[in-house]
């Protein structure tokens, strides 16, 4: 069976990745006056990782508050309320008495889920409202009319009880946008009727969205934000984007949502989430500064503490993950090392100390003598020409004999000690 036959066989039962289509309709960026981050580490993040103990969740929430640093940029954090442990976590984090992020509930469009929010003493919740025909058919075995009727009834109950809603239109990037707009308009009317705030949340549930304003709906995140703002008149601070990384576009899509008019981005610490993960909060913090030219009070140095805390929970932070990975600010290639030793900005566009990290030189098969010299000096060893050459030759020999990974500091210390002892 050749490749074409394999593709035909697979796609007879399962679709290929959705094809990107283009449109001549053009829109311009329109960055909101205020930008915010909301957290779903204790909802989407937790369900894709380990169940947090109460103390672990409390410490993570404290670190999240330390990252926000009273700025109000990381404005809300979503929590499950289904189990006794969930409710104990909510109680514990609320006892920290942090102004930000605000603790809000997360639930389905069910009366009992709204009641859980009330019983927890919360006045705001994310309400899940699947909107694509795929979800309506295969998740609920229902119809558009029936699910809309149910959503509106439960939303009305919550608003009547004074609970502010963040209506999460799940799978919006595979939905009929006309249908979604019609439904959102009904939600806005309910908000006006009860005088209680409604925010529209736009989840790219399967990560098929793209950050291109020239792509067609429903995939274009810029156009998606545009139509909800311009057609329904929803203000920027009532539009929230929730992205996933299935096609490596989570951060790009989130940034485009900000740039084209949604003031709020929903994310998780380290991007931990369902399947290929969510938008990482730390990426949004850095991108906030790239857009605004300032962190506006956030304390990005806490990012390294957060990564270390997750390592302590047993989470293996990918080595090459931007910002938090061990290799994110490391250089190994010899020609890069020489330039970086002259001025770090040659291969690092920002100071790693901003997030509590430092630049490092990794010794590998292509590091060269400059890197060896730098490593020796920074670790307190004599670094004359003879020592550098001998250590360098020992390193090259290791790779010629089959070593593949970078050398650890301990291994380099042993090699250096042996070289120095031979020189005595």
Residue 225 and residue 102 share a domain? yes
Q: Residue 318: inside a domain, yes or no?
A: no
Q: Note the pLDDT of residue 334.
A: 56
Residue 162 and residue 236 share a domain? yes
Spatial distance between the Cα atoms of 257 and 255, rounded to a whole number of angstroms = 5
DSSP label at 278? B
Residue 130 and residue 266 share a domain? yes
Of the candidates 285, 312, 339, which is a domain's last residue? 312
Spatial distance between the Cα atoms of 268 and 349, rounded to a whole number of angstroms = 24
Q: Note the pLDDT of residue 343.
A: 67
The pLDDT-based confidence of 415 (bands split at 50, 70, 90) is very high
Q: Output the average pLDDT for the chain.
A: 92
Nearest C-alpha neighbor of 151 from the set 210, 207, 96, 108: 108
Residue 387 confidence (pLDDT) above 60: yes
The pLDDT-based confidence of 337 (bands split at 50, 70, 90) is low
Angle at 143 between CA 203 and CA 193, to 5 degrees: 65
Of the candidates 254, 285, 312, which is a domain's last residue? 312
Q: Residue 3: inside a domain, yes or no?
A: no
Q: Residue 6: inside a domain, yes or no?
A: no
Number of domains in the chain: 2
Q: Residue 19: inside a domain, yes or no?
A: no
pLDDT in tens, 45-66: 998 888 899 999 999 999 999 9
The better pLDDT of the pair 46, 336 is held by 46
The pLDDT-based confidence of 10 (bands split at 50, 70, 90) is very low
- Percent of the chain clearing pLDDT 70 (strictly above): 93
Phi, psi of 74 (to 5 degrees): -95, 90
Q: Note the pLDDT of residue 24.
A: 86
Residue 373 and residue 295 share a domain? no
Phi, psi of 210 (to 5 degrees): -135, 155
On the question of a cis peptide bond just before residue 218, with omega within 30 degrees of 0, the verdict is yes
Q: From the CA atom positions of the chain, what is the Rg in Å?
A: 25
Q: Please give the full DSSP string across 393-404, using - where no structure is assigned.
A: HHHHHHHHTT--
pLDDT in tens, 157-214: 999 999 999 999 999 999 999 999 999 999 999 999 999 999 999 999 999 999 999 9
Residue 354 and residue 237 share a domain? no
Q: Are 106 and 80 in contact (CB under 8 A)?
A: yes
Q: Note the pLDDT of residue 379.
A: 87
The better pLDDT of the pair 50, 238 is held by 238
The pLDDT-based confidence of 365 (bands split at 50, 70, 90) is confident
Q: Note the pLDDT of residue 77.
A: 98
Residue 290 and residue 369 share a domain? no
Q: Residue 8: inside a domain, yes or no?
A: no
Q: Residue 406: inside a domain, yes or no?
A: yes
Q: Note the pLDDT of residue 382.
A: 86
Q: Residue 91: inside a domain, yes or no?
A: yes
Residue 164 and residue 299 share a domain? yes
Q: Note the pLDDT of residue 333.
A: 61
Residue 286 and residue 338 share a domain? no
Spatial distance between the Cα atoms of 64 and 59, rounded to a whole number of angstroms = 9
Q: Note the pLDDT of residue 407.
A: 87
The pLDDT-based confidence of 12 (bands split at 50, 70, 90) is low
Q: Which of helix, strand or coil describes residue 17?
A: coil
The mean pLDDT value for 21-50 works out to 93
Q: Note the pLDDT of residue 383.
A: 86
Q: Are 107 and 136 in contact (CB under 8 A)?
A: no
pLDDT in tens, 114-169: 999 999 999 999 999 999 999 999 999 999 999 999 999 999 999 999 999 999 99
Global pTM?
Answer: 0.91
Q: Are 203 and 239 in contact (CB under 8 A)?
A: no
The pLDDT-based confidence of 25 (bands split at 50, 70, 90) is confident
Spatial distance between the Cα atoms of 199 and 236, rounded to a whole number of angstroms = 10
Residue 238 and residue 201 share a domain? yes
Q: Note the pLDDT of residue 1.
A: 47
Q: Note the pLDDT of residue 50.
A: 85
Query: Computed from CA positions of residues 286, 290, 292, 295, in that sequence, does the dihedral angle turn out positive or negative?
Result: positive
Residue 382 and residue 289 share a domain? no
Domain with 55, as residue range(s), is 26-312
DSSP label at 34? S
Residue 332 confidence (pLDDT) above 60: yes
Residue 402 and residue 347 share a domain? yes
Q: Which of helix, strand or coil describes residue 407?
A: coil
Of the candidates 260, 278, 312, which is a domain's last residue? 312
Beta bridge partners of 183: none
User: What CATH number is given to the structural domain containing 219?
Assistant: 3.20.20.70
The mean pLDDT value for 94-99 works out to 98
Residue 242 confidence (pLDDT) above 90: yes
The better pLDDT of the pair 41, 339 is held by 41
Q: Residue 12: inside a domain, yes or no?
A: no
Q: Note the pLDDT of residue 371.
A: 85
Q: Note the pLDDT of residue 335.
A: 57
Residue 339 confidence (pLDDT) above 70: no
The mean pLDDT value for 9-36 works out to 84
Residue 345 and residue 238 share a domain? no
């Amino acid at each position: 069976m050749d490749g074409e036959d394999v593709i035909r066989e697979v796609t007879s039962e399962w679709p290929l990745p959705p094809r990107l289509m283009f449109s001549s309709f053009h829109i311009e960026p329109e960055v909101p006056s205020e930008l915010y981050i909301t957290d779903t580490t204790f909802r989407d993040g937790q369900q894709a990782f380990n169940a947090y103990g109460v103390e672990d969740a409390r410490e993570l929430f404290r670190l999240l508050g330390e990252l926000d640093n009273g700025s109000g940029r990381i404005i809300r954090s979503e929590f499950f309320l289904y189990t006794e442990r969930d409710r104990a976590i909510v109680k514990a984090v609320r006892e920290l008495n942090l102004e930000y992020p605000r603790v809000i509930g997360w639930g389905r469009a069910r009366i009992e889920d709204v009641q859980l929010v009330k019983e927890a003493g919360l006045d705001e919740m994310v309400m899940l409202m699947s909107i694509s025909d795929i979800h309506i058919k295969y998740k609920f075995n229902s119809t558009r009319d029936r699910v809309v009727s149910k959503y509106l009834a439960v939303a009305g109950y919550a608003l009547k009880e004074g609970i502010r809603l963040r209506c999460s239109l799940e799978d919006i990037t595979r939905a009929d946008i006309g249908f979604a707009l019609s439904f959102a308009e009904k939600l806005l009317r309910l908000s006006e009727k009860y005088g209680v705030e409604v925010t529209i949340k736009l989840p790219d549930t399967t990560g098929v969205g793209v950050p291109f304003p020239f792509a067609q709906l429903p995939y274009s995140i810029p156009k998606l934000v545009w139509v909800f703002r311009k057609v329904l008149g929803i203000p920027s601070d009532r539009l929230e984007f929730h992205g996933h990384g299935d096609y490596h576009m989570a951060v790009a899509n989130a940034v485009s949502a900000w740039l084209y008019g949604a003031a709020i981005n929903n994310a998780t610490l380290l991007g931990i989430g369902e399947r290929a993960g969510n938008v990482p909060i730390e990426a949004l913090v850095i991108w906030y500064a790239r857009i605004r030219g300032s962190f506006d009070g956030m304390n990005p140095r806490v990012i390294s503490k957060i990564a270390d805390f997750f390592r302590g929970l047993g989470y293996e932070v990918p080595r090459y993950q931007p910002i938090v990975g061990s290799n994110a600010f490391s250089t190994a290639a010899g020609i890069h090392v020489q330039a970086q030793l002259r001025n770090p900005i040659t291969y690092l566009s920002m100071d790693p100390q901003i997030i509590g990290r430092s630049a490092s030189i990794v010794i590998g098969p292509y590091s060269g003598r400059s890197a060896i010299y730098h490593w020796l000096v920074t670790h307190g060893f004599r670094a004359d020409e003879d020592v550098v050459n001998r250590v360098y030759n020992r390193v090259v020999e290791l790779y010629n004999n089959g070593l593949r990974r970078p050398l650890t500091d301990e291994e380099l210390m042993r090699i250096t000690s042996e070289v120095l002892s031979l020189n005595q």
